Amino acid sequence: MSETLTITDNRTGQSYEVPITDNTINAVDLRQISVPDQPGLSTYDPGLVNTSACRSAVTYIDGDAGILEYRGYPIEQLAEQCTYLEVAYLLIHGDLPNPEQLAAWEASITQRRFVHENVKALTEKTRHDAHPMATMMASVAGLHTFYPAGRRYDDPASRDLQVRRLIAKMPTIAAYSYRHSLGLPYVYPLDTLSYTENFLAMLFKMGEPRYKADPRLVRALEVLFILHADHEQNCSTTAVRTVASAGNDPYTSISAGIGALFGPLHGGANEAVLRMLDRIGDQSNIGSFIDGVKAGNEKLMGFGHRVYKNYDPRARIIKDACHDVFEVTGVNPKLEIAQELEAIALEDEYFKERKLYPNVDFYSGLIYEALGLPPEMFTVMFAIPRTSGWLSQWLEQVVDSEQKIARPKQIYTGKRGRSL
Ligand code: ACO
């Protein structure tokens, strides 16, 4: 079988043969296809829905089969057997750590949890009702001013240091943003607590001498962090890679990723699920709600996925975590509505035909709400673990000799040749 594609340009009758590599053609090979007075042929792909823009060895997804793997390990095994920091190490380094490597990694992350007092001051200067995600975005971008050497991305030691710093400081920045939105004093990190325990303490500690999170909640948070750590070339990762392609440090690049994730079409769907469950209000209203969805009046939020056309493997794991959390916090009637909604939709021809299954967001908002977090914090909770994924992709981007500054073409639709 010839690994080539023959293209006949019917404008000229001329045929061209372009190589197929890794089941793709190189868009630059199309440039040779041209007619007089026109530039060579290019592709039009808004949203880059059918364009590979990089090679990556971080995350593998088979949407039809419902498979998600980080560095070759199935998400189910990682969620069951690992901590978030182990998974972050895996994403960054390519392999799981041995016990010594893990101890060194955890220690170096733990010792970097504090942020400069001026980062705290920066948070304090935002409005009292600032959205915590906007505050977080500004704080992460602001880290560049403390670590300008982060731009030395051609130095492996410098890259490694910035990666540890960012993974370490994200929960602190997130917690400060949250406490600021409530007008509460900030809680400093405590080295004796694990990554997630410490984060919960920084969020929720009040006057008690020592905040002790229920271990089941800590584990549920670890699982949520693992599930959200990476998802290959999604919108925010593409933003990180695009900003990095201009030669930027990770603080600048990741603040762009946070900006992309802030968007309701990307990180905000779990918030929409909660609003929907609130509106349904009672199990007796589910039937009429489903009828409205089938009539095209609205969408069943938390269902469907651009890539997963079978079942989002993360949804199944989150559903189990949900039960563990509600064991601690008491059952929320919204969980019962969600479960009933899922059961009905999975049996309904409308959803079956369209391959609509619960996605990662169907249950995650319920967990965050049960933890006591307001909807504005949901995307922040996403950004903390996604930082390890963004950084793994940033690391690939800056050493990839095939990469160039991102600079797509356009189809010009405006006027020409005007003069004053
Ligand atoms: N409820 C009802 N119908 C739906 C839903 C839904 N949630 N999602 C898709 N459909 C229908 C569409 O109306 C369309 O029907 P039609 O063929 O009769 O026109 C069909 O299913 C195919 O839908 P598309 O929009 O083509 O699917 P696409 O892959 O483009 O969209 C998306 C995926 C955006 C996730 C969509 O399913 C959706 O909007 N879901 C709800 C929002 C949501 O949960 N987003 C979170 C995604 S996970 C994440 O980003 C972390």
Q: pLDDT at position 118, please?
A: 95
Would you tell me the crossing angle of helices 250-262 and 156-182 to the nearest 10 degrees?
40
The answer to whether the CB of 274 falls within 8 A of the CB of 369 is: yes
Q: Which of 162, 117, 158, 164 is nearest to 139 (CA)?
A: 117
The letter for the amino acid at 394 is W
Strand 4-9, strand 14-21: pairing: antiparallel
Q: Which of 301, 36, 251 is nearest to 139 (CA)?
A: 251
Query: Does 137 have pLDDT greater than 90?
Result: yes
Region 232-260: what's the mean pLDDT?
97
Region 89-108: what's the mean pLDDT?
98
Q: pLDDT at position 331, please?
A: 82
C-alpha to C-alpha distance for 166 and 389, rounded to whole angstroms: 12
Query: Does 209 have pLDDT greater than 90?
Result: no
Distance 47 CA to ligand 1 centre (A): 16
Distance 305 CA to ligand 1 centre (A): 6
Q: Which residues line ligand 1 (CB under 6 A)?
A: 266, 269, 293, 299-306, 354, 356, 359-361
Distances (CA, A) of 34 to 16, 25, 52, 297, 307: 11, 17, 23, 46, 34
Please return the burial class of 123, using the count of CB atoms within 10 Å of its CB with bins 0-12, 13-18 and 19+: buried
Region 372-387: what's the mean pLDDT?
95
- CA angle, residues 357, 359, 363, in degrees to nearest 5: 115
Looking at ligand 1, which residue's alpha carbon is closest to its atom 40?
304
Q: What percent of the chain shows pLDDT beyond 90?
A: 84
Q: Which residue is catalytic, options 131, 266, 348, 400?
A: 266
* Pocket mutation for ligand 1, best pick of 303, 310, 318, 382 (most atoms within 8 Å of C-beta): 303
Distance 231 CA to ligand 1 centre (A): 18
361 catalytic per annotation? yes
Query: Does 332 have pLDDT greater than 90?
Result: no
pLDDT tens per residue, range 147-179: 998 888 889 999 999 999 999 999 999 999 999
Q: Which of 403, 310, 385 is nearest to 87 (CA)?
A: 385
Q: Which of 51-60, 103-112, 212-221, 328-337 has the lowest mean pLDDT?
A: 328-337
Looking at ligand 1, which residue's alpha carbon is closest to its atom 46?
269
Residues 6+ apart with CB under 8 A from 52: 22, 24, 233
Region 380-407: what's the mean pLDDT?
97
CATH superfamily placement of domain 56-394: Citrate Synthase, domain 1 (1.10.580.10)
Looking at ligand 1, which residue's alpha carbon is closest to its atom 37?
304
Q: What percent of the chain shows pLDDT beyond 70?
A: 100
Neighbours of 219 (CB within 10 A): 16
What 3-state class would DSSP assign to 290? helix
Please return the burial class of 34, using the count of CB atoms within 10 Å of its CB with bins 0-12, 13-18 and 19+: middle
Q: Which of 229, 230, 238 is nearest to 52 (CA)?
A: 238
* Pocket mutation for ligand 1, best pick of 276, 286, 297, 305 (most atoms within 8 Å of C-beta): 305
Region 303-331: what's the mean pLDDT?
88
Q: Which of 26-35, 288-297, 314-323 has the lowest mean pLDDT?
A: 314-323
Please return the burial class of 405, using the count of CB atoms within 10 Å of its CB with bins 0-12, 13-18 and 19+: exposed
* Pocket mutation for ligand 1, best pick of 49, 266, 270, 306 (most atoms within 8 Å of C-beta): 306
Distance 301 CA to ligand 1 centre (A): 8
Count of positions (residues) in the chain: 420
Q: pLDDT at position 225, please?
A: 97
Q: Which residue is catalytic, options 144, 180, 231, 305?
A: 305
Neighbours of 42 (CB within 10 A): 15
What 3-state class would DSSP assign to 404? coil
To the nearest whole number, what is the mean pLDDT of the chain? Answer: 94
Please give the residue that has the higher pLDDT: either 173 or 274.
173
C-alpha to C-alpha distance for 371 and 400, rounded to whole angstroms: 41
Looking at ligand 1, which residue's alpha carbon is closest to its atom 32?
305
Distance 352 CA to ligand 1 centre (A): 13
Q: How confident is the model at residue 266 (pLDDT cuts 50, 70, 90)?
A: confident
Tell if the pTM clears 0.85, that is, is over it: yes
What 3-state class would DSSP assign to 9? strand
Q: Which of 400, 306, 407, 408 is nearest to 54 (CA)?
A: 400
Q: pLDDT at position 306, please?
A: 83
Looking at ligand 1, which residue's alpha carbon is closest to its atom 12?
354
117-126 long-range contacts (CB < 8 A, ≥24 apart) are 118/146, 119/143, 119/146, 119/173, 119/176, 120/176, 120/186, 123/173, 123/176, 123/177, 123/180, 123/186, 124/180, 126/180
Looking at ligand 1, which residue's alpha carbon is closest to its atom 44?
302
C-alpha to C-alpha distance for 405 and 138, rounded to whole angstroms: 24
Nearest ligand 1 atom to the CA of 362 is 44
The answer to whether the CB of 194 falls within 8 A of the CB of 348 is: no
Would you tell me the crossing angle of helices 378-399 and 269-280 to the nearest 10 degrees?
160
Q: pLDDT at position 267, please?
A: 87
Region 314-334: what's the mean pLDDT?
89
Distances (CA, A) of 219 to 187, 195, 268, 318, 397: 21, 11, 23, 12, 32
Distance 71 CA to ligand 1 centre (A): 28
What 3-state class would DSSP assign to 197? helix
**Bridge partners of residue 266, in order along the sequence:** none
Q: Where are the domains of the chain?
A: 4-43, 56-394
43-46-51-57 Cα dihedral, nearest 10 degrees:
150
pLDDT tens per residue, range 31-86: 999 999 999 999 999 999 999 999 999 999 999 899 999 999 999 999 999 999 99
Distance 303 CA to ligand 1 centre (A): 7
pLDDT tens per residue, range 177-193: 999 999 999 999 999 99
Query: Does 93 have pLDDT greater than 90?
Result: yes
Q: pLDDT at position 268, please?
A: 82
